[in-house]
Amino acid sequence: MSKFKTYITTSIPYVNAAPHVGFALELVQADAYARHHRLLGHDIRFQCGTDDNSLKNVRAAELAGQPVGDFVNANSEKFKSLGERLDISNDTFIRTACNDQHTSGVHRLWNACSASGDLYSKAYEGLYCVGCEQFYDAEELNEGKCPEHDAPLENVREENWFFRLSRYEEQLLKLVETEVLEIKPAHRRNEILAFIRRGLSDFSVSRSSERARGWGVRVPGGDDVIYVWFDALANYLTGLGYGAGQPLFEHYWANGGQRAHFVGKGITKFHAIYWPAILLSAGLSLPSTIYVHGYLTVDGKKIGKSSGNGIDPVKVIEDFNTPDALRYYLLRHIRSAEDGDFSYERIERAWSGELGGQLGNLLNRVLAILSSSFGGVVPPVPENDFTRKAEHLHEQVASAFQKYELHAGLSEIFAFVGEANAQFVRRAPWVDAKALTNNLTQDEREELSLRLGATLAEQVYGLAIVARCLLAYLPRSAQALHEKLGIQVPELYNEKLVVEGAKTSASAVLFPRMKVP
């Protein structure tokens, strides 16, 4: 029987500047899904990358006084490095510049849409936002400014190629209404439906080579440059070898399975309307699900490369000496589909108060008594309400992933950690451990030892379940927790869990207190 296939992608950010912490949110969300599905035994392909071919990249390079190629190479490498520092488990990293495979695939997609009669040329004049890389109608503006960047727009007049988006209005409406094209959360789906019902206009898919400074993928047989969104969206295909004859495209896109995009709310329209229409025109399969997250903010204002409030995620990782402090904060304290505020103080409280104070402290106390009383070897695990509840924890976490509520999954995990702490206090194993040092009869010693062993074993079992459930969220800390408990890291969630007889570590500091700015 073949494995269930899931192809997971992040959007590809512009490389007009180094990455800020807002994009880390998308990376860790997509990574958690990829890890979760691998642990379910699914056949996963996970792709990240960068959009090198935008006008804003060109202008940023000019402002920096650098050749465009050198500029985008340096910033693209910073995005790739960020993924590595965050323990992002992507299988591939695609770049759209200087990439023959990508160019070949974009040309193939263009020619397929042309063959369907969906590309035509006309003179056009409109208001253009370089930050968004799109034209806006006057009614879409906020007091004459871009609604996304709150900046004035440029008036652009040129001969462009257009895509017949209007031809696919009814088809797109039905696909979204019936959730053949699933958009999560529901309020983003409703926004897309409202946008379609207002009527769809054809959109530009090229710009003049002069305005693009000659940077980007050329229109087949012409001098113009393919508009950034047509070029960029194609990465989801070209990264699999579309246009280059690679079997990955047939396996992960053309022949069944799930195709999931993770995107920010500011680019939902392009992924949920423009992209499916292009695919329909080219006769290709559509995405299955589009997961739309909100923005990170500072004092309520969106974090952005050009906003002056960018926070370097690499510095956050270095300050805490681990990526898991940032991963945990973004995945638990930022609701998956909503905006959320970022601050060092909140991360420190989450790291020290929750990871350290709740999980780390419990682990330390359990393993210390286990070491002194049983040489660190786990006694038999009792079957009781506590251990039975632990066994169902993964079901609650899996439900959170299904609902696109990753924060809820971590809340369930730490609610159980809270119950484990309460159970530990109720059982008061330190009392039994101390009593074992007294002069006791053989029967008294056996009774105390059995009770103490059961108390510690149930805690180790609960902590092992927690470790397994944390693998998708905090892979580094989850692996360390397995090691402290003396058990193997599973390849699948449903691998049999045996803790009896495991040799635990007496030293169990997983979340040391940090001094951060």
Distance separating alpha carbons of residues 328 and 514, to the nearest angstrom: 15
Peptide bond before 185: cis, by omega within 30 degrees of 0? yes
The first and second tokens of residue 164, run together, are 């017949």
C-alpha closest to that of 493 among 402, 383, 392: 392
Crossing angle (nearest 10°) for helices 21-39 and 393-402: 120
Give the per-residue pLDDT at 1. 37
Give the per-residue pLDDT at 295. 94
The first and second tokens of residue 346, run together, are 């909140």
Distance separating alpha carbons of residues 336 and 30, to the nearest angstrom: 11
Give the per-residue pLDDT at 123. 82
DSSP string, 391-434: HTHHHHHHHHHHTT-HHHHHHHHHHHHHHHHHHHHHH-HHHHHH
Distance separating alpha carbons of residues 11 and 504, to the nearest angstrom: 42
Alpha-carbon distance values, 75 to 253, 346, 476 (Å): 29, 29, 26
C-alpha closest to that of 462 among 352, 402, 384, 409: 384
Alpha-carbon distance values, 207 to 14, 160, 235, 282, 464 (Å): 17, 6, 19, 21, 56
What domains appear along the chain, each with residue ranges and CATH number?
Answer: 5-318 (3.40.50.620), 344-485 (1.10.730.10)
Contacts of 423 (CB under 8 A, 6+ apart): 386, 458, 459, 462
Query: One-letter amino acid identity for 458?
Result: E
This prediction's pTM: 0.92
Give the per-residue pLDDT at 514. 76
**pLDDT tens series, the chain, 517 aa:** 347 999 999 999 999 999 999 999 999 999 999 999 999 999 999 999 999 998 889 889 999 999 999 999 999 999 999 999 999 999 999 999 989 999 999 999 999 999 999 999 988 766 766 555 566 666 667 666 666 656 677 777 778 899 999 999 999 999 999 999 999 999 999 999 999 999 999 999 998 888 878 889 999 998 899 987 999 999 999 999 998 888 999 999 998 899 999 999 999 999 999 999 999 999 999 999 999 999 999 877 777 655 556 789 999 999 999 999 999 999 999 999 999 999 989 999 999 999 999 999 999 999 999 999 999 999 999 999 999 999 999 999 999 999 999 999 999 999 999 999 999 999 999 999 999 988 888 998 999 999 999 999 999 999 999 999 999 999 999 999 999 999 999 999 999 999 999 999 987 789 988 766 6
Give the per-residue pLDDT at 144. 67
Work out the angle at residue 81's Cα, subtended by the Cα atoms of residues 216 and 52, and round it to the nearest 5 degrees.
5
* 231 three-state secondary structure: helix
To which residue do tokens 């979340």 refer?
A: 511
Conformation bin of residue 241: beta by default, left when phi > 0, alpha when psi is -120 to 50:
left
Distance separating alpha carbons of residues 104 and 422, to the nearest angstrom: 60
Distance separating alpha carbons of residues 478 and 97, to the nearest angstrom: 37
C-alpha closest to that of 296 among 7, 12, 24, 11: 24
Chain mean position to CA 438 = 54
* Cβ 363 vs Cβ 508: under 8 Å: yes
DSSP string, 47-100: EEEEB---HHHHHHHHHHTS-HHHHHHHHHHHHHHHHHHTT---SEEEESSS-H
Give the per-residue pLDDT at 126. 67
